[in-house]
């Protein structure tokens, strides 16, 4: 029999991999990854994700080689490259993990029209379309959706990886990972990414290191200076470990910290639930009325946006967050909310510009989470607070003791006390080299509320 093709996408692991287990049970397997920058269009993976992908694919190839196989690499449109592989090998059967982003769903339809495509659930606690109300309807609001999800928990036990993967008699030609040049070189803006270890082994090492902190997750997760967050989001996005494996690794604990963390796993999955129902959620507001909101455009808005991306707004916690993002490829979740709210409410800049910046600079950039969280903060989403809810960077910095966090990323004001850092939000800190605020807090709030009132009229 001709070999079976195992099409890897956002499932770069060998453990708890239903598609891999099924393919290996059928005989010879050709593990394949296709770098498709055409199918996703404007949602092709960003620069930071490419850095991660390089390491993750290398780690996956090493794991496959330990089992007698290896990873085949191709670049181009997924359906076209799969058709070529089928033609070269005589194979007509493809196993893959189901994805819910619109470009992957489109690719699945194309592939299924030319070959036998077998899709497996495996990247989520539950398939998004399986969490329904009594009438079979889908949820768009998180709280009832999560309650229904909990009724199905715990998830099935994770699958063990196969000890051996049968190789084909002949391997098709493969491209070289180094030729893809996924890592930046001139300039190498990823020099600060040193704290990450892409790949399945790195994922589990990070998970084990975090587990002792899980009990304090609820109490400490909003304080960026405290080691509370798991930082597993990039590993989850690339499918280097599964949510169900992580769920079971936490055991049967029901303390507040673990319960809170599990709810955050649910929040992540709610994002893909929304995208599965509304494929354009990354481009269009969930509430139609916001399609006419008077966002700022033009040279002045562009200048403000550039200052925001560089961490030069004059608001210390905002600047710390944006610099953390650029330097490390990640940002603390509480700070993500603050910087997003600042862009949308203080600067009145369209949330989609911020969403696109995050897409290119976040290691964990995920369509569902990114779109949902930006629309949540902007008040445009189907499950979001009202637009008039405006976060105060001043109060956030003080309430969550962000002085040390700010000092870590904004050295110009590292000599200031906690109280002085808090007071500098919306005020000129009068520190050489540190910018004056783009706009005062009260003035920004008044401008945003005026725009909101105009939308309501």
Sorted by sequence, the CB contacts under 8 Å of residue 77 that are 6+ apart come out as: 36, 38, 39, 107
pTM value > 0.95:
yes
Please give the pLDDT value at position 367. 98
CATH code assigned to 124-156+200-277: 1.25.40.80
Three-state secondary structure along 60-92? HHHHHHCCCCCCEEEECCHHHHHHHHHHHHCCC
CA pair distance 196, 274, nearest whole angstrom: 29
Ranges under pLDDT 70 in the chain: 457
Any idea what DSSP says for residue 212? G
Domain with CATH 1.10.579.10 in the chain: 288-456
C-alpha closest to that of 320 among 423, 228, 412, 445: 412
Q: Which pair of structure tokens corresponds to residue 449?
A: 């509320």
Please give the pLDDT value at position 457. 61
Domain with CATH 1.25.40.80 in the chain: 124-156+200-277
**What is the CATH architecture of 4-122?**
3-Layer(aba) Sandwich (3.40)
Domain with CATH 3.40.50.620 in the chain: 4-122
With b for 16 or more beta-carbon neighbours within 10 A and e for fewer, the 111-146 pattern comes to beeebebbbbebbbbbbbeebeeeeeeebbebeebb
* Diameter over CA atoms, the chain: 74
**What is the CATH architecture of 288-456?**
Orthogonal Bundle (1.10)
């Amino acid at each position: 029999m001709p070999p079976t093709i195992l099409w890897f996408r956002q499932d770069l692991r060998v453990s708890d991999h239903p598609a891999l287990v099924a393919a290996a049970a059928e005989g010879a397997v050709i593990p394949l990854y296709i770098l498709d920058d055409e199918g996703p269009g404007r949602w092709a993976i960003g620069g930071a994700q490419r850095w991660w992908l390089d390491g993750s694919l290398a780690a996956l190839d090493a794991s496959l080689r330990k089992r007698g196989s290896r990873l085949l690499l191709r670049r181009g449109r997924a359906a076209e490259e799969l058709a070529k592989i089928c033609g070269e090998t005589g194979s007509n059967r493809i196993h893959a993990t189901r994805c819910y982003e619109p470009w992957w769903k489109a690719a699945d339809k194309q592939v299924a029209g030319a070959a036998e495509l077998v899709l497996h659930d495996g990247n989520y606690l539950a398939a998004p379309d399986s969490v329904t109300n009594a009438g079979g309807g889908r949820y768009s609001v998180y709280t009832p959706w999560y309650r229904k999800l909990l009724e199905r928990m715990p998830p099935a036990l994770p699958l063990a990886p196969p000890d051996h993967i049968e190789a084909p008699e002949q391997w098709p030609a493969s491209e070289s990972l180094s030729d893809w040049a996924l890592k930046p070189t001139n300039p190498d803006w990823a020099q600060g990414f040193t704290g990450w270890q892409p790949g399945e082994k790195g994922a589990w090492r990070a998970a084990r290191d975090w587990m002792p902190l899980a009990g304090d997750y609820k109490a400490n997760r909003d304080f960026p200076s405290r080691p509370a967050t798991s930082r597993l989001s990039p590993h989850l996005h690339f499918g280097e470990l599964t949510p169900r494996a992580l769920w079971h690794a936490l055991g049967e604990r029901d303390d507040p910290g673990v319960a809170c963390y599990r709810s955050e796993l649910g929040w992540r999955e709610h994002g893909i639930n929304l995208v599965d129902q509304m494929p354009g959620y990354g481009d269009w507001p969930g509430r139609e009325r916001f399609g006419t909101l008077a966002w700022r455009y033009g040279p002045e808005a562009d200048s403000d946006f550039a200052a925001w991306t560089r961490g030069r707004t004059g608001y210390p916690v905002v600047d710390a967050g944006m610099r953390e993002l650029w330097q490390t490829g990640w940002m603390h979740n509480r700070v993500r909310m603050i910087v997003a709210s600042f862009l949308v409410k203080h600067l009145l800049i369209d949330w989609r510009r911020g969403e696109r910046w995050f897409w290119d600079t976040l290691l964990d950039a995920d369509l569902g989470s990114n779109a949902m969280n930006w629309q949540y903060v902007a008040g445009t989403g189907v499950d979001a607070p009202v637009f008039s809810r405006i976060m105060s960077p001043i109060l956030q910095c003080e309430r969550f003791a962000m002085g040390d966090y700010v000092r870590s990323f904004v050295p110009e004001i590292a000599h200031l006390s906690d109280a002085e850092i808090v007071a500098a939000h919306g005020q000129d800190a009068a520190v050489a080299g540190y910018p004056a605020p783009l706009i005062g807090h009260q003035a920004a709030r008044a401008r945003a509320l005026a725009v909101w009132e105009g939308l309501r009229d």
